[in-house]
Amino acid sequence: MTQTPIKTRFAPSPTGKLHVGNVRTAVITWLAARKFGGSYLLRLDDTDVERSKEEYAVSIQRDLKWLGLEWDEFARQQDRRERYDELIQKLKEDGRLYACYETPEELSLKRKSLLSRGLPPIYDRAALELTEAQKAQYEKEGRKPHWRFLLKAELIEWQDLVRGDVKFHGKDLADPVLIREDGSPLYHLCSVIDDMDFGVTHIIRGEDHVTNTATHLQMFEALGGTLPTCAHLALISDAEGGKLSKRLGSLGIETLREEEKLDPMAILSYLALLGTSLPIEAVKDRQNLIDSFDFSHFSRSSAKFDAEELYRLNTKLLHETSFSEISGKLADMGLGNIDETFWLAVRPNLVKLEDLREWWRVANGPVTPEIDDAEFASTAAELLPPAPWDGETWNVWIAAVKERTGRKGKELFMPIRKALTGMEHGPELPVLLPLIGRDETAARLKKRA
């Protein structure tokens, strides 16, 4: 693929919030635009008036900005109804849209009949045989027509940037419904008109849209548009190779940002490299992802999504983050009291930034010590090494307690952990101990001793 200016688009429907299942497309379309010196269009496919919500439109834009996927142009389908109506009329006049009066029940019976005979459930074009009198009778009965696009019985072929040579034949495809009974246009037609009008040169989407693309290409020709270049990405599967579950696929970007406090580059790194021949690794600079992007890297095999990979990459990025890079974010989290010494001490033990909150709480309180054996706790307090403490203090102290009490293993470590943290699990004590300090450690050991 030559480095010529292109235009890509990400076209989510504002009927919900962005999740990893659909933001992968946003990432790849953005990378393609940036790699080849093109532009990136964010288009909200909001023709579904009942389900489209402004709160979701706002959320989508906020999430994309947080990920650094800034767009060059913005559009909403709701603003373009007049344009759709104009081209719908043209297709009707050209005989490429025809009215159909079958009810959903009648269409269902037709499909079942074809399937029972081992035939593909392709619409039989019975509506084309209707007389004007029959149409008038249907209208009198209160039936409103839906409108189908008349496909030409000819070869449909394109060179896909991921799948290679793709071929369909119009006679093997069902004429798609483009207009509902209420007169509102469906996604297929609006998308083609928008891509044509906005000059989208490259359409990137999942392989589940391959058949749609075949019909869309005939729509482009019928409307006099330039045929776009297409790339159909293999779908994401779960770790076992099955269809991506709703639980994994619906990992919300807002949740990963607000609750998990993941680094946006962890998400970008994973989704940009997932399903490619490149190794999945943490990338700190978006430009590096741009520079390495190439459609030839994408496999036709399903990519396995593993949420743990996100956390692995996030861990790697955290461990490479300096205090100056993170201090502003800490202030936003209400952890502005954390200094560089504390950050450098706990950084190697963080998986996600939110873990820092627990380290800070345990080191600085409030903590309710849990002491089951007051005598043991008192002995441990007596053996505390003198200040100042460092990374070796824990080993020195625990060796002394072991020698004095004769305890070892869980009987040695667990009472001390519960006395200092009030928990059976938590931050590592060798790192935590210098952060708590000698005076506070002694106080916790003696609180109920």
**Which CATH number do you get for residue 439?**
1.10.10.350
Query: Which region, left, alpha or beta, applies to residue 75 given φ > 0 means left and ψ of -120 to 50 means alpha?
Result: beta
Looking at the fold, whether 75 and 99 belong to one and the same domain comes out as: no
Assigned domain for 342 exists: no
Looking at the fold, whether 328 and 369 belong to one and the same domain comes out as: no
Q: What is the pLDDT of residues 33-45, one digit of tens each?
A: 999 999 999 999 9
Q: What is the mean pLDDT of residues 79-105?
A: 97
Looking at the fold, whether 265 and 298 belong to one and the same domain comes out as: yes
Return the amino acid letter for 6. I
User: Cα separations (Å) of 241 from 250, 300, 315?
Assistant: 17, 14, 25
- Whether the predicted pLDDT of 63 surpasses 80: yes
Looking at the fold, whether 328 and 253 belong to one and the same domain comes out as: yes
The pLDDT, as a whole number, for residue 246 is: 47
Looking at the fold, whether 75 and 191 belong to one and the same domain comes out as: yes
Q: What is the mean pLDDT of residues 401-422?
A: 94
The partner residues of 231 in beta bridges, in order of sequence, read 204
Q: What is the pLDDT of residues 168-195, one digit of tens each?
A: 999 999 999 999 999 999 989 999 999 9
Q: What is the mean pLDDT of residues 148-173?
A: 97
Assigned domain for 430 exists: yes
**CATH number, domain at 218?**
3.40.50.620
Backbone angles phi, psi at 64, to 5 degrees: -65, -40
Structural domain boundaries, residue 253 = 246-333
Question: Read out DSSP for 57-124?
Answer: HHHHHHHHHHHT---SEEEEGGGGHHHHHHHHHHHHHTT-EEEE---HHHHHHHHHHHHHTT------
Cβ(362)–Cβ(346) under 8 Å? no
Query: Which tokens go with 425?
Result: 């699990």
Q: What is the mean pLDDT of residues 339-365?
A: 93
Domain end: 157, 179, 201, which one? 179
Looking at the fold, whether 232 and 379 belong to one and the same domain comes out as: no
The pLDDT, as a whole number, for residue 324 is: 96
Cβ(317)–Cβ(263) under 8 Å? yes
- Whether the predicted pLDDT of 234 surpasses 50: yes
CA atoms within 13 A on the CB side of 303: 27
Interatomic CA distance for residues 146 and 294, integer angstroms? 42
The pLDDT, as a whole number, for residue 5 is: 82
Assigned domain for 434 exists: yes
Cβ(65)–Cβ(26) under 8 Å? no
Sign of CA dihedral 177, 183, 186, 191: positive
Looking at the fold, whether 65 and 199 belong to one and the same domain comes out as: yes
**CATH number, domain at 143?**
3.90.800.10
**CATH number, domain at 293?**
1.10.1160.10
Assigned domain for 195 exists: yes
The pLDDT, as a whole number, for residue 250 is: 60
Interatomic CA distance for residues 238 and 182, integer angstroms? 39
Domain end: 179, 204, 225, which one? 179
Question: Quick one: DSSP state of residue 352?
Answer: S
Interatomic CA distance for residues 94 and 223, integer angstroms? 10
Give the β-pairing of 155-160 and 146-149. unpaired
Looking at the fold, whether 54 and 12 belong to one and the same domain comes out as: yes
Classified as helix, coil or strand, 11 is: coil
Domain end: 333, 352, 383, which one? 333
Interatomic CA distance for residues 407 and 418, integer angstroms? 16
pTM score, whole prediction: 0.88
The pLDDT, as a whole number, for residue 14 is: 96
Interatomic CA distance for residues 401 and 282, integer angstroms? 42
Assigned domain for 88 exists: no
Average pLDDT, the chain: 93
Q: What is the mean pLDDT of residues 206-232?
A: 97
Cβ-proximal residues to 33 (8 Å cutoff; 6+ apart), any chain: 6, 7, 8, 39, 40, 72
- Burial grade of 438 (CB within 10 A; 0-12, 13-18, 19 or more): middle
Query: Which tokens go with 370?
Result: 């849990």
Backbone angles phi, psi at 117, to 5 degrees: -95, 10
- Whether the predicted pLDDT of 101 surpasses 90: yes
User: Cα separations (Å) of 103 from 26, 183, 242, 266?
Assistant: 37, 15, 35, 49
Q: What is the mean pLDDT of residues 441-448?
A: 87
Convert 289-321 to b/e letters by CB count within 10 Å (16 or more is b): bbeebebeebeeebbbbeeebbbbbbbbbbeeb
Looking at the fold, whether 193 and 67 belong to one and the same domain comes out as: yes
CA atoms within 13 A on the CB side of 139: 8
Assigned domain for 276 exists: yes
Return the amino acid letter for 320. E
Q: What is the mean pLDDT of residues 153-171?
A: 97
Interatomic CA distance for residues 61 and 56, integer angstroms? 9
Distance of CA 322 to the CA centre of its chain: 27
Q: What is the pLDDT of residues 275-331, one digit of tens each?
A: 999 999 999 999 999 999 999 999 999 888 898 999 999 999 999 999 999 999 999
- pLDDT-derived band at 241, boundaries 50, 70, 90: low
Assigned domain for 1 exists: no
Q: What is the mean pLDDT of residues 363-375?
A: 92
Query: Which tokens go with 357?
Result: 């909150």
- pLDDT-derived band at 4, boundaries 50, 70, 90: low
Domain count, the chain: 4
Assigned domain for 356 exists: no
Cβ(55)–Cβ(61) under 8 Å? no
Which helix (H) or strand (E) segment is 216 a member of? Answer: helix 210-223
Looking at the fold, whether 191 and 175 belong to one and the same domain comes out as: no
- Whether the predicted pLDDT of 449 surpasses 50: no
Looking at the fold, whether 213 and 290 belong to one and the same domain comes out as: no
- At CA 384, angle to CA 380 and CA 385, rounded to 5? 150
